[in-house]
Amino acid sequence: MKYSIYFLISKKETKFYWKSSFVTLFVLLLFNACSPKVAPSINVSESDVVGTPLVVIPTLVEIHHVNVNDGDATIIRIKFSDNTEKKILLDGGKPQPGNFLVPYINSVFPNSKFDYIILSHYHNDHYNGLFAIGDGSITGDYYIDLGGYSMRGYTKDAYLKLIQPKDTICPWTDRDGIFDSSTFESFLEGLGSAVNKNRITRYAAMSKPTDEISDLINVIIPLGTYTNSGVTYPIQLRCVGAWGFTLGAGGVAVDNWNKGASKNDPTLAFVLECGAFRYFLGGDMGGQASGSYIDQETTLIQGFQAIYTGSKTYFPKGADPTTNGHICGFKANHHGSAHSNNAAFLGGMKPAVCITSVGDFTSWHLPSIDFLNRLNATTSLTDSIVLPFNTRQGFFFTNLYNFPTKGVYPRTKGNTLFDTRANTAYDYNGKTIPIKGFVVRVAINDDLATKSLFTVSRVLSDYSFPLPGALLHCHSQ
């Protein structure tokens, strides 16, 4: 990988940026030294610190993209100064949980308990791995999905109020009941078992009689806070898509729903927000209005432009122009389908990082060549600079295969586009070594209020992630 010097930065500024970046890198390396499990806690009681109450603060945000071969599984972890953590599991992948997901969780995290478990939509490449909640190998406090079905008969009547969706009417059938396959019915049986055994509870974003599905847009799931210079900043998930409603122009919900749409299209979509850092997780959201697909992405970039304003390069170059709608990184929608990640969406976000969760399922033969070409055409906000490990953009794939029986060669295309692309980090499982996934890491420090700086690391075969594969100076506010 090549690195170039940014000559317009003064010596004073260069010294500051080197110091800031290496402090952040040192913090991340320190945490990496304790990977994959968190460090053991030190038993110090509050009374041991005379006159000083113990203050617990968040120190690190991680986004784990688990290699589940086919489908999606994403884990968000917030680490705190007392060695506790908060975890969110978003989707579980297509394989059974014991194949990939549960071994990853048991190897990387101190326990398999999650604060929130979220199912983005009702396709089995997203919910099969979540069967683990039925046998208790994964547990959670709160559960989130789209609703549109009834849990009556799947859990004890005494616990129905804990898990029953407010809206039990399926938008595809206009009736109560199951609307996908027998495997989803089995999943609901597992969810009912999780309620009976562990009292997992539906997160009640919709609870009032007057609530509508569109009210889910801009719902906030709180994950913590941190303080800088007397100002408190939230760490949170913001819902930006649900049942075809999308965050749109003016920052309000827009109805993109089409009753005949694919079951991908009602997907839940979120942005993880932490200071200047913003990361989009859109399930199988679509970006093309044709056939059974709907275009939410064109609407959503208008929503991003309304609420994420004033971003500019990480390194000041005089009177920098500002950009609205910038997202630091994202998981590619619908595994890099040709019908998702449209040019307006990618161009509007100007992402520093894209991670695509794909596998070897021949019928899907993903990611699409069209998506790879569109990804190659994107630009980030910050140009390459002198700092070691720094890249302008990073493109990572949990897997990347060729599909000769379909005449589709994503690996060959990816290698052609990205192997020699200037200042670009590019990696996938098996490119050089086998990997279990990728992890994005954001150190919570004083700079995070106005500057987004983060790393992306491989998760190795032993589930460690010892060194950052890419250091991204993303943007400033």
Across the chain, how many H-helices and E-strands are there? 10, 20
* 18, 9 Cβ separation under 8 angstroms: no
| Mean predicted lDDT score pLDDT of the chain | 85
* 70, 359 Cβ separation under 8 angstroms: yes
pLDDT of residue 131: 95
Is the pLDDT higher at 185 or at 233? Answer: 233
Which residues make Cβ contacts (< 8 Å) with residue 360, sequence separation at least 6? 69, 70, 399, 401
* Phi, psi values for residue 27, rounded to 5°: -60, -45
Distance, in Å, from the CA atom of 118 to the CA atom of 399, rounded to the nearest integer, reads 23
Strand order in the sheet with 85-90: 201-202, 139-144, 113-118, 85-90, 74-80, 58-66, 435-443, 451-460, 470-476, 390-391
Is the pLDDT higher at 141 or at 165? Answer: 141
Structure tokens at 408: 């589709």
* Phi, psi values for residue 355, rounded to 5°: -120, 125
Strands 390-391 and 424-428: unpaired
| pLDDT tens digit sequence for 266-293 | 899 999 999 999 999 999 999 998 877 8
Distance, in Å, from the CA atom of 187 to the CA atom of 474, rounded to the nearest integer, reads 39
Structure tokens at 131: 């069967």
Distance, in Å, from the CA atom of 353 to the CA atom of 441, rounded to the nearest integer, reads 12
Most confident of 199-208, 297-306, 314-323: 297-306
Picking from 244, 240, 350, 351, the residue whose alpha carbon sits closest to that of residue 295 is: 244
Q: What is the DSSP letter of 49?
A: S
Widest distance between CA atoms in the chain? 71
pTM of the model: 0.89
| pLDDT bracket for residue 28 (50, 70, 90) | low
* 43 has a pLDDT exceeding 80: no
The mean per-residue pLDDT over the stretch 17-46 comes to 44
| pLDDT bracket for residue 48 (50, 70, 90) | very low
Q: Which amino acid is at 475?
A: H
